[in-house]
């Protein structure tokens, strides 16, 4: 029996690197295997519903990575290197190469989906901070490029034998050009902007994870 996962395909390999470095930090490891389109590279997030074992987040690449060193802020600049870097500013991400995937992709079943629309981007930042993993310094939000919508999915614990519930916060931003990897809220002037790197400790940043294909909700 294989592992049953929901899957999220990201837009680029860099989106994947940013996300795993943000979540796993020094324990960052990809799994990779051959696919018809090239190579699948990804990692698992914890399950949010009972009938799955996790969420597989991945990107498709032409060449399997070996070691990726990533820093969100090295001298105010985001840096990506295909080598090991011995520095506390960098997260070194290793790759385990597999002959075949240990999982199969499934769809959501017997899950109550509650969708709530967010009124403004500032509220998106606040919700990301209030619902993210507690160990994350910088929370993240999915950005569905084709639909121009931000998503934050939150597990709602079920009681007894009730169906699982997944809470989805959505912010549609059709009038905004999302061309930077970070959103930041400045509480001093109550303004929100887009940035290349998180370099101002007085601001609240969230990582934008661009998505090519999200699991059906």
**Segment 190-215 mean pLDDT:** 94
- Give the chain's mean pLDDT: 92
Q: How far is CA 114 from the centre of its chain?
A: 20
Q: How far is CA 125 from the centre of its chain?
A: 15
The predicted-structure confidence for 26-44, as pLDDT tens digits, reads as follows: 999 999 999 988 999 999 9
Q: What is the pLDDT of residue 132?
A: 81
Of 175 and 127, the structure prediction assigns the larger pLDDT to: 127
Does residue 160 have a pLDDT over 70? no
**Segment 105-117 mean pLDDT:** 90
Please choose, from the candidates 202, 209, 204, the residue with its C-alpha nearest in 3D space to the C-alpha of residue 180.
209
């Amino acid at each position: 029996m294989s592992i049953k996962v929901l899957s999220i395909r990201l837009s680029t390999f860099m989106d994947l690197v940013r996300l795993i470095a943000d979540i796993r930090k020094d324990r960052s490891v990809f799994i990779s295997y051959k696919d018809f389109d090239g190579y699948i590279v990804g990692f698992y997030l914890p399950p949010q519903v009972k009938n799955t074992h996790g969420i597989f987040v991945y990107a498709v690449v032409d060449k399997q990575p070996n070691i990726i060193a990533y820093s969100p802020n090295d001298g105010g600049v985001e840096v990506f290197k295909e080598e090991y870097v011995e520095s506390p500013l960098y997260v070194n991400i290793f790759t385990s190469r597999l002959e075949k995937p240990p999982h199969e992709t499934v769809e959501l079943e017997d899950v109550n989906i509650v969708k709530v629309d967010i009124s403004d981007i500032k509220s998106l930042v606040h919700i990301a901070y209030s619902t993210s993993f507690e160990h994350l310094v910088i929370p993240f939000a999915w950005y569905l490029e084709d639909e121009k919508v931000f998503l934050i999915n939150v597990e709602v614990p079920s009681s007894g034998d009730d169906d699982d519930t997944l809470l989805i916060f959505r912010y549609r931003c059709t009038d905004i050009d999302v061309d930077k990897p970070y959103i930041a809220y400045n509480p001093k002037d109550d303004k929100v902007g887009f940035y290349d790197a998180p370099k101002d400790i007085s601001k609240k940043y969230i990582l934008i994870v661009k998505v090519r294909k999200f699991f059906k909700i």
